[in-house]
Amino acid sequence: MMNYVGLVMFFSGLLVFSIKRDHLLLMLLSLEFIVLSLYFLIFMYLKFMNYDYFFSMMFLSFSVCEGALGLSVLVSMIRSVGNDYIMMFSSLW
């Protein structure tokens, strides 16, 4: 039952990521939601198989690094362009 909750979270995050691809902030929030759902699924899998939770801590540390990198890209984009619209970012074209 709990795996279905994680899968619904994952696919709803993918849906929001694909629909809101114009704003970088909404894309980053949906990516963090996807990472949270993956962490939940990994934690449930490790709990079900009675494994150690060390891998989940490694996953959390990598997801924090990914979030910090995304926020730094967002801040540099807002400083250079003025907004977070992907289409306004001229270096992508």
Task: Tell me the domain boundaries of the chain.
Answer: 2-92
Q: For residue 73, give both structure tokens.
A: 């890209």
Strand partners, 85: 23
pLDDT of residue 74: 82
Q: How sure is the predictor about 88, in pLDDT bands with cuts at 50, 70 and 90?
A: low
Fold annotation for 2-92: Helix Hairpins (1.10.287)
* Nearest-10 Cα torsion for 73, 62, 30, 51: 180
Reduced 3-state DSSP string for 2-71: HHHHHHHHHHHHHHHHHHCCCEHHHHHHHHHHHHHHHHHHHHHHHHHCCCCCHHHHHHHHHHHHHHHHHH
User: pLDDT per residue over 20-38, tens digit each?
Assistant: 888 888 888 999 999 999 9
Highest mean pLDDT among 1-10, 35-44, 76-85: 35-44
φ, ψ dihedrals at 86, nearest 5°: -70, -35
pLDDT of residue 54: 86
Strand partners, 23: 85
